[in-house]
Amino acid sequence: MHPCSLTCGVLNIGNTVDERVYHLIKRIPVVFGQLADVIDVKACLINDISLSMPATAYSPIAGGYFPYPFFSHAALFKEQADKKLMKMDKHLDKVLVVTDKPLAGPDGRIYGQADVGGPYAVVTTHGLYDGFGRGNERLVLEACYLLGRTMGLPRCDDARCIMHPAEMLADIDARSAFCELCARVLRART
């Protein structure tokens, strides 16, 4: 059985493209490498300069940015990137927006949001870096969780699984790999 191929474009909004973004691009395929028999994930940078924040995203009441306006930016840049990639007979399957601004959900601050089963996700670096040197890996683990959600993977009860939702940094730190159940679900869907 040949694995299906998935290309994720990383779109930087509101912060400078730095080593965190490049680390993320390198590590996403490594984390998904555990599932290399069913899916071959590649990641690439869509923009090398930072884009401005979506004007409609900020909520002074929530004290952060709602994630859904980022999806509109992602759709626009996916379309532009796909036009360029079409010449090479390629396209983007997913777009992961990376920002350093705080994200807000209905219940407060969040680390990211996915368009479940769709092509877009947004992750923030805000709050992931606490001075203990785990920020880059937290960014990778949260991004892979969100990409898993775009692939239709459900949330998992196993605290060590990539697909376990995070309410605090300790939840992200507990993640290590996709559990066997989530790996089976993905295998069944591809």
Is the pLDDT at 166 greater than 60? The verdict is yes
3-54 tens-digit pLDDT: 788 999 999 998 878 899 999 999 999 999 989 888 999 999 998 777 889 9
| Res 2: pLDDT | 59
CA distance 155 to 164: 6
Nearest to 150 by CA among 163, 160, 159: 163
| Res 133: pLDDT | 85
Residue span of the structural domain in which 35 resides: 4-189
Is the pLDDT at 1 greater than 60? The verdict is no
Domains held by the chain: number: 1
78-136 tens-digit pLDDT: 998 999 888 888 899 999 999 999 999 988 899 999 999 999 999 999 999 987 789 99
The CATH number of residue 79's host domain is 3.40.390.10
Kindly state the average pLDDT of the residues 55-73.
93
* C-alpha 1, offset from chain centre: 27
The residue type of 6 is L
Question: Which residues have CB under 8 Å from 84's CB, separation 6+?
Answer: none
The residue type of 84 is K
| Res 20: pLDDT | 92
